[in-house]
């Protein structure tokens, strides 16, 4: 079978798998967040937390609960790293130094999972599974709670209540993430992913040299790494490591895990607003963008532009031979479109335009289909913008899901759209202006060097976590700057989204009439795709011309 035929087959199989679980998983999650009943373990959790599960919260209280919970997560994860050497299963590794510990704590709590270190020689087993893997569950759940609150803002009227953060968080972990993670862990182990508490083994290589092969609870962390769109690998090579991703079957399964919850949440959205067509429309936009970027990445990698790649016959530098160009490009487009950051190939070794495609995909705001929760609420904010633009074109007050879009809502939307690009572009400019930061770039005086810095801040600001490998980020400046960008890039937009949800929830529904823009038809899907691309293009195009476009052209 040719590479093209094999590549098309795996893309087709992936789409078929997602289609098969779309209705049942999306419907199940809608029931989870609309049910009045609590299961026993949830009731115990609420009692320990002192939470009244029947008490709804305003958007401000919801936001304060979320921020307080996340702040405690940063402190605890930082403390576990700083005390690692004194804890069980440390494998004799020293305490993590302060700057790196802060960066890692900010990274995992913000669902970024940026790693400025080699995990297998930095983190012991306890920190990996009791610190990092736990945050993989919790940070993913936080993203889902936010979009559920926003959906309630559209679905409810004449109220200032959006639900209960603690209830949404607990149900997400207990009823959604944990059951899938348990089954998925068993599947990964069956496919050959490592799962043990071994400190590792010394083996003799084929050339007679001794090599240390570290073990650990890899499968249980790998599953939530992908399912929760987290991305932090157990090993430095991430999903390119054979202990994390042994073969083509596990590779396809891991890509499926990246996409399954963000895709299914669009059906949850349609069911909760009582109009399934709205969910299909948002899914159509996400699917169109994902398909376009997957095609582009695959085209550029198969084309192999460049003297070295053409002389070698293929752009295989930094890629695993067991995956090849098609599977590497498919993984890259899926991970940069879902705020995951897991990689099965070195993005820094992609062709200039192939790597630029991955970078631009992140710049869309991780909405195609985006992270767990974050992708859908990002797309819904852009949908509000699209409706506003359409309203300006026809000269009437814009409405979305029977809610008027007034000056207050547009101010919040504008702040949301400006927040992440401001962090990315200002952070990149400061880094390029500091000699200490430039010194850590391998290609200092080339467009690719600028691309590495731009990629780092784009990844941090959009809570992705992937990186171009030519930058040494484990220095005080990058540990601090990227850590702050991760936290601000995560929680500033979240507060804005919750404020927007509260604003919509207080409104009285507007009756649909002949002047209302249909937001479930192909015309709106096309308009929303255009808004996503144009807003991103106008924001980032000057920076892209200095990096990947200059290098590629």
Q: Is the pLDDT of residue 230 over 90?
A: yes
Number of domains the chain is built from: 1
Query: What is residue 168's predicted lDDT score, i.e. its pLDDT?
Result: 98
Q: Using one digit for the tens of pLDDT, what is the confidence trace for 63-111?
A: 999 999 999 999 999 999 999 999 998 889 999 999 999 999 999 999 9
In which band, very low, low, confident or very high, does the pLDDT at 399 lie, cut at 50, 70 and 90?
A: very high
Please indicate whether residue 7 or residue 200 has the higher confidence score (pLDDT): 7
Rounded to an integer, the average pLDDT of 300-322 is: 76
Q: 210 to each of 47, 118, 120, 240, 426, how far by Cα in Å?
A: 53, 20, 17, 22, 46
Q: Is residue 300 part of a domain?
A: no
Percent of the chain with pLDDT over 90: 75
Query: What is residue 288's predicted lDDT score, i.e. its pLDDT?
Result: 97
Q: Is residue 406 part of a domain?
A: no
Q: Is the pLDDT of residue 487 over 90?
A: yes
CB 419 within 8 A of CB 499: no
DSSP string, 185-232: HHHHHHHT--------EEEE-TTS-EEEE---SHHHHHHHHHHTT---
Q: Using one digit for the tens of pLDDT, what is the confidence trace for 126-164?
A: 999 889 999 999 999 999 999 999 999 999 999 999 999
Extract the tokens encoding 304: 């192999």
Q: Is residue 284 part of a domain?
A: no
Q: Mention every residue, 6+ apart, whose C-beta is less than 8 A from residue 548.
A: 352, 353, 355, 356, 359, 360, 447, 451
User: What are the b/e assignments for 295-314, b being 16+ CB within 10 Å?
Assistant: ebbbebbbebebeebeeeee
Please give the DSSP secondary-structure letter assigned to residue 347: G
Under DSSP, is residue 57 helix (H, G, I), strand (E, B) or coil?
A: strand
CA distance 256 to 253: 5
Q: Is residue 490 part of a domain?
A: no
Q: Is residue 323 part of a domain?
A: no
In which band, very low, low, confident or very high, does the pLDDT at 553 lie, cut at 50, 70 and 90?
A: confident
- pTM confidence score: 0.95
CB 376 within 8 A of CB 147: yes
Rounded to an integer, the average pLDDT of 328-357 is: 92
CB 385 within 8 A of CB 417: yes
CB 404 within 8 A of CB 397: yes
Q: Using one digit for the tens of pLDDT, what is the confidence trace for 491-537?
A: 999 999 999 999 999 999 998 887 788 999 999 999 999 999 999 88
Rounded to an integer, the average pLDDT of 180-191 is: 97
> Which residue range(s) make up the domain with 185?
3-198+212-275
Q: Is residue 282 part of a domain?
A: no
79 Cα distance to chain centroid: 25
CA distance 367 to 361: 9
Q: Is residue 549 part of a domain?
A: no
Q: Is residue 345 part of a domain?
A: no
233 Cα distance to chain centroid: 14
């Amino acid at each position: 079978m040719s590479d093209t035929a094999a590549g098309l087959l795996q893309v087709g199989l992936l789409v078929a798998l997602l289609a098969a679980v779309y209705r049942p998983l999306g419907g199940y999650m809608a029931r989870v967040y609309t049910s009045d009943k609590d299961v026993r373990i949830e009731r115990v959790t609420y009692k320990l937390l002192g939470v009244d599960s029947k008490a709804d919260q305003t958007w401000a209280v919801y936001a304060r609960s979320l921020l307080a919970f996340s702040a405690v997560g940063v402190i605890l994860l930082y403390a576990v790293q700083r005390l690692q050497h004194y804890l069980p299963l440390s494998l004799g590794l020293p305490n993590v130094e302060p700057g790196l510990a802060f960066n890692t704590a900010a990274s995992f709590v913000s669902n970024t999972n940026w790693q400025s270190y080699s995990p297998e020689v930095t983190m012991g087993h306890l920190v990996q599974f009791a610190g990092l893997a736990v945050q993989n569950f919790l940070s993913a759940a936080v993203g889902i709670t936010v979009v559920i609150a926003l959906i309630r803002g559209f679905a409810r009227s004449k109220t200032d209540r959006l639900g209960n953060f603690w209830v949404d968080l607990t149900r997400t972990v207990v009823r959604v993430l944990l059951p899938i993670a348990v089954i998925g862990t068993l599947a990964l182990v069956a496919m050959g992913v490592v799962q043990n508490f071994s400190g590792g083994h010394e083996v003799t290589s084929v050339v007679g040299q001794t090599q240390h092969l570290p073990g650990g609870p890899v499968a249980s962390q790998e599953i939530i790494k992908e399912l929760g769109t987290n991305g932090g690998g157990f090993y430095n090579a991430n999903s390119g490591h054979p202990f994390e991703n042994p073969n083509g079957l596990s590779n396809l399964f891991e890509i499926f895990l990246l996409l399954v919850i963000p895709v299914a949440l669009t059906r949850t959205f349609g069911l909760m607003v009582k109009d399934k067509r709205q969910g299909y429309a948002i899914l159509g936009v996400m699917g169109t963008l994902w398909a376009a970027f997957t095609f582009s990445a695959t085209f550029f990698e198969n084309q192999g532009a460049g003297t070295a790649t053409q002389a070698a016959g293929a752009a295989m530098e930094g890629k695993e031979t067991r995956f090849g160009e098609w599977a590497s490009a498919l993984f890259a487009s899926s991970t940069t479109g879902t705020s995951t950051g897991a990689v099965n190939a070195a993005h820094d070794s992609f062709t200039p335009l192939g790597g630029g495609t991955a970078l631009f995909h992140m710049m869309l705001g991780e909405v195609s289909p985006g992270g767990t929760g974050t992708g859908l609420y990002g797309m819904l904010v852009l949908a509000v913008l699209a409706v506003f633009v359409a309203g300006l074109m026809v000269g009437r007050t814009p409405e979305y899901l029977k809610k008027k879009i007034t000056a207050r809502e547009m101010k919040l939307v504008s702040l949301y759209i400006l927040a992440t690009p401001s962090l990315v572009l200002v952070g990149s400019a400061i880094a390029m202006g500091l000699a200490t930061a430039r010194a850590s770039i391998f290609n200092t005086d080339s467009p690719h060097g600028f691309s590495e810095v731009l990629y780092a801040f784009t990844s941090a600001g959009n809570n992705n976590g992937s990186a171009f490998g030519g930058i040494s980020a484990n220095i005080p400046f990058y540990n601090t700057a990227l850590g702050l960008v991760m936290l601000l890039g995560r929680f500033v937009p979240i507060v804005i989204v919750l404020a927007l949800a509260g604003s919509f929830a207080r409104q009285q529904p507007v009756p649909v009439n002949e002047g209302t823009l249909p937001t479930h038809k192909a015309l709106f899907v096309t308009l929303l795709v255009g808004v996503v691309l144009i807003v991103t293009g106008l924001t980032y195009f000057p920076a892209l011309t200095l990096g990947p476009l200059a290098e590629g052209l």
